[in-house]
Amino acid sequence: MHAIMTNNAVLTKILELCQAIVDQEDFQAMHRDVEAFLTDETAQNLYRSVAEKGEALHHKQLQGQPLEPAEIDAYEQDRQALLNNEVARRFLDAQEQMHQTQQTVTRYVTKTLEIGRVPTDEDFGGCGSGCSCG
């Protein structure tokens, strides 16, 4: 195994990064939103219903079966109820923000390993760290 994989200095920096993420007020708010969702049975049931109905519609499409207007309407009604539920909507937003944070960290670490140095904006095609172009 290469020394970098067992290097305590690298692990220390990884843990510092993790702590920096956890210390962010935005992260703490996202975490609270996730915890609120996990304790709200109504929000969870709405989420589960939308996921199940969406999966069923997708499966029918893959099978080449026509989607019934009533099925689509039921899905849309549940989806709207989910989005109208404050706890569920905040959970969905938190999920997206956490995913974006994970993508950004992965993108920078991957680029560092590819080019052998800390990347700059130019290494990503001139886009800044807040850019959503990919």
Q: With 0-12 CB in 10 A as exposed, 13-18 as middle and 19+ as buried, what is 122? A: exposed
Domains of the chain plus CATH, in order, are 3-124 (1.20.1500)
What pLDDT, on a 0 to 100 scale, did the predictor assign at position 134? 47
- Nearest Cα neighbor of 46 from 11, 12, 80 is 80
Q: Which helix (H) or strand (E) holds 36?
A: helix 25-38
Residues of the chain with pLDDT under 70: 1-6, 126-134
What pLDDT, on a 0 to 100 scale, did the predictor assign at position 45? 98
8 Å CB contact between 74 and 53: yes
- Three-class SS of residue 102? helix
Residue 88 has a CB neighbour count (10 Å cut-off) of: 23
What pLDDT, on a 0 to 100 scale, did the predictor assign at position 76? 97
Q: What is the pLDDT of residues 82-105, one digit of tens each?
A: 999 999 999 999 999 999 999 999
Q: Which helix (H) or strand (E) holds 69?
A: helix 69-84
What pLDDT, on a 0 to 100 scale, did the predictor assign at position 10? 87
Residue type for 73, please?
Answer: D
The residue assigned the tokens 């993508």 is 103
